[in-house]
Amino acid sequence: MSKVTCGAFLKLDSQAKAVLIAWLRGYHSGKRHEIESAAEEVSPYAYGGKLARHCAENPAALLIAVSEEILAEGEQ
């Protein structure tokens, strides 16, 4: 997962994207050792939309890094 690029994410079908989005949200929650985290503060739809926009602008970026940036924005 640490090597998945935004470009690869964008090529997935909608069901596979939904699975990855759920995984990323859970990963970040677990990484922070929090029951409620920034992943839960940002709605899945808003998060998915932001992820798609960031990835479209930066297809070579690592998906997990872009996800972290989006969730950090949600904490502000």
Question: Residue 3: pLDDT above 90?
Answer: yes
Q: Give Cβ neighbours of residue 34 (< 8 Å, ≥ 6 apart).
A: none
Q: pTM of the full predicted structure? A: 0.78
Q: Sign of torsion, CA 33 36 41 45?
A: positive
pLDDT band at 74 (very low <50, low <70, confident <90, very high): low
pLDDT band at 2 (very low <50, low <70, confident <90, very high): confident
- The SS3 of residue 60 is coil
CA distance 39 to 36: 8
Which two structure tokens, joined as six digits, stand for 20?
């990855």
pLDDT band at 76 (very low <50, low <70, confident <90, very high): very low
- The SS3 of residue 67 is helix
Q: Tell me which H or E stretch contains 47.
A: helix 44-57
The domain spans of the chain are: 6-75
Can you give the pLDDT at residue 39? 46
